[in-house]
Structure 1
Amino acid sequence: MSPQAQPGTRKPLINSAGGVKINRLEVPEVIRHGNPVILDCDFTLDDNEQDLVVKWFFNKALVYQWIPSTKKRPQGLGILKDRLNLEYAASVDANSIHRALHILKAGPDLSGEYTCSVSTLQSEDIETKSMLVLGSFSFTTSKLWKQNTALQFIKYLFANQPDTLRIYKRPFSHPLFSILDTFVSL
């Protein structure tokens, strides 16, 4: 099943009266190149759920799959093949021990949308968040102003990436707390 949720959003449950539910998707917004990172998909599961499958997608491509009932190790696939600690335990619960991705060394090629899909025969929940992997920061700057009835805040990150300089613009609007992520390559 492929993910359909937008970054930072969740797709409605197939069965919203219980079933499987993602409680919290932890994906850092920005991390430094070369560092390890853990992306965690904390979920709850009703006792009557059968055939649990945990999948992670990177930019809509399947990169991780774990099927607890097979008693096999999780699989790292695609861009994350050989870049994960597949022994990482996010929990002691047998149904959620391998729910998280432990990326050993993040690179700029891992910047993008990460989607966690937790499904059973009875229900499914999906959530997506974005992560940006940056090299060294040249500098950051911020701007704060009032527009209409909202307080506006923008943070610019000037990042040195190999062969390019990118400016990452992060505007925030209050009280709506809407976040728009854009970046411009120079």
Structure 2
Amino acid sequence: MVGMTAILRGRDWTRADRDALPDDGRRYEVVDGALIVTPSPSPLHQIVLVGLFRQLDRACPAHLILRPAPLDVVLDDRTVVQPDLLVARRDRLDHRGVQGRPELAVEILSPSTQAVDRNLKLDRYQRAQTPGYWLIDPDTLTLTAYELTGGHLRQTAQVTAGESWTATIPYQVTLTPAAWLD
């Protein structure tokens, strides 16, 4: 990402407040009433996103949707996030976004977002009982997978650029991080 992520506190932001903001190319998310403003992603971020999307799209079953950001995931009125990539049940999608938890949320890390992605979002997806959460480091092409076990998102895999890994959540698909740059 180019620039820095800002977390604005001091008032209780809601989805309605966020929706009233201008469409200026930034990503606006609300987490527990705090507004998170993220700048546009870097070219490498987008290359990795498209590569991962292609691998996931080939195996996505018909009852699920695979979508890149920006698409709102409404966990509650005070928590509306936009993961870089998500898989959700079709019946959770409406004209305003995904209502409730996704089956999988994916965040591609950057220096300006990694603290939020590794801590705050991991916690909120866990609270929402999201079955899968993946963090991707685009510089090293490393995927860290978390799966919901006993009510907690626990790390279940770490896959590096030269490896292949078969995910089972949200569906079975084999991923090869090195191919994300093709």
> For this structure pair, what is the TM-score category when the shorter chain's length is used for normalisation?
under 0.3
TM-score scaled by length of structure 1: 0.23
TM-score scaled by length of structure 2: 0.24
- The higher radius of gyration belongs to 1
Choose between structure 1 and 2 for higher RCO, CA contacts under 8 A separated by at least 6 residues.
1
Normalized per residue, which structure has more helix?
A: 2
